[in-house]
Amino acid sequence: VRFPEDLEDDNTTFNPEYSHQVFGDDEVAFGYKGLKILLYYIAGNLSTFFRIEYTSKVNEKFDCVDADDVESKIREIIPPGFCTNTDDFVSLLEKEVNFKPFGMLLHTYSIHNEEAGEDITYQIYKADMTCPGFREYHERLQTFLMWFIETASFIDVDDERWNYFLVFEKYNKDGATLFATVGYMTVYNYYVYPDKTRPRVSQMLVLPPFQGEGHGAQLLETVHRYYMSSPTVLDITAEDPSENYVKLRDFVLVKLCQDLVCFSPVKLMQGFSQEMVTEAQQKLKINKQHTRRVYEILRLRATNMGDAEQSRSYRLDVKRRLISPYKKKQRELAKMRRCLRPEEMTNQLNQIDLNMQREQLEESFQQLVSDYRRVLERLAQA
């Protein structure tokens, strides 16, 4: 909500992707007809207004059952101090002009908005719990995780090893410049013996009204650039990354790596090298596993897949990596042959069909190439 009229505007409304963390695996609230759970957030500081509407509700006296206590379930995830009537919320909205982003400005960028017919400016800040008011703001911000990340949990904000990166949109209201929350990322700094840290991305969310505009890539690249300048950072990882996050990371890391000397077309065609691992880690804080994916994507770009020899060379190079789990299985089988009885061995072999392995390998390769092509298409448009 930026203006009072937004309260009645369906265009500013968006629905949750998940509700099982609040309402159970069936995502059901029992005992109501026409139930609406309404959560309004002021665009900048995320002050909250919560209300429930329904046309009818079961009654213990007449129906012998109780309706679910929807309000208490919502109260468990939104912090206290929220508004319960429109007038209080609108009066808070009038004070929004005083809200300013928390922490240190890291990056400013613009994106052209077709609907508005103008460039809109966005800023990325790094904050921590020492910023006045940030703890309370973060309590409101993290409530979005419950609706948009399938296995979300709230973090221990008293642990000083957390870093917070926030994206804001700048907009005008009555001649004043205001800020709207776009998304954020939390990063935990793990200790690596003897004197390094390994920042690990824990949570990343761009709010639905802003998705598909490139904010995730801007945020992830900014976070990488922030840590790249630190001599104590070993590399940057992610905790249980989603499929969408992996695609985003591929794009950002390829964009960062493509100008490194070790990724020149000539060197790419010579195969994956220790030089690539070393340079990517030292200059960009990228680990070996992610560097290998970057190499495969950039080598695909440098390869003429219409040329039989180049195409075959690329396919074999990627499949050699993909086949390693199968080779591990074969080594385990060799051990089994030495210690299992023939009937036990037959039973084990029946579980591992070589033809099926080849089919799975080819399927994995084709899926990978398809994903890589999408990264390269996006890179060409960037």
What letter does residue 67 receive in the DSSP assignment? P
327, 333, 359: which is closest to 346 by C-alpha? 333
Q: Is 239 a catalytic residue?
A: yes
CA distance 98 to 124: 19
* Ranges for all domains in the chain classified under CATH 3.90.360.10: 4-96
Phi, psi of 88 (to 5 degrees): -65, -40
The sign one gets for the Cα dihedral 205, 211, 212, 214 is negative
- For domain 4-96, which CATH number applies: 3.30.2350.10, 3.90.360.10, 3.20.20.70, 3.40.50.880? 3.90.360.10
Q: How many residues does the chain have?
A: 382
Q: Tell me the pairing of strands 237-238 and 196-206.
A: parallel
Per-residue pLDDT at 113: 86
Q: Other CB atoms closer than 10 Å to residue 13's CB: what's the count? A: 13
Per-residue pLDDT at 120: 96
Contact assessment for residue 295 and residue 264, using Cβ atoms and an 8 Å cutoff: no
Q: Where are the beta strands (DSSP E) in 85-231?
A: 104-113, 118-127, 162-173, 176-192, 196-206
Q: How big is the CA angle at 306 (ends 303 and 310), to the nearest 5 degrees?
A: 45
Task: Tell me the average confidence (pLDDT) per consecutive run of 10 residues in the chain, 382 residues long.
Answer: 94 93 93 95 97 89 82 94 95 96 98 88 97 96 95 92 97 95 97 95 96 96 96 94 95 97 96 97 96 98 96 95 70 63 59 70 94 97 88
Structure tokens belonging to residue 249: 């990371």
Q: How many helices (H) and strands (E) does the chain have?
A: 15, 10
Distances (CA, A) of 135 to 59, 127, 185, 310: 40, 10, 15, 55
CA distance 13 to 345: 60
CA distance 158 to 97: 29
Structure tokens belonging to residue 44: 């900048």
Distances (CA, A) of 347 to 337, 340, 353, 358: 12, 10, 12, 20
Task: Give SS3 for 303.
Answer: coil
Which CATH number applies to 100-301? 3.40.630.30
H helix intervals, 34-183:
60-63, 70-75, 86-93, 134-141, 145-148
185, 276, 181: which is closest to 226 by C-alpha? 185
Phi, psi of 200 (to 5 degrees): -125, 120
CA distance 60 to 44: 42
Of 239, 332, 344, 363, the catalytic one is 239
* Ranges for all domains in the chain classified under CATH 3.40.630.30: 100-301
Amino acid at the residue 71: E
Q: How big is the CA angle at 73 (ends 69 and 77), to the nearest 5 degrees?
A: 160
Task: Give SS3 for 358.
Answer: helix
Identify any residues that bridge with 237 across adjacent strands, giving them in sequence order. 200
CA distance 42 to 48: 7
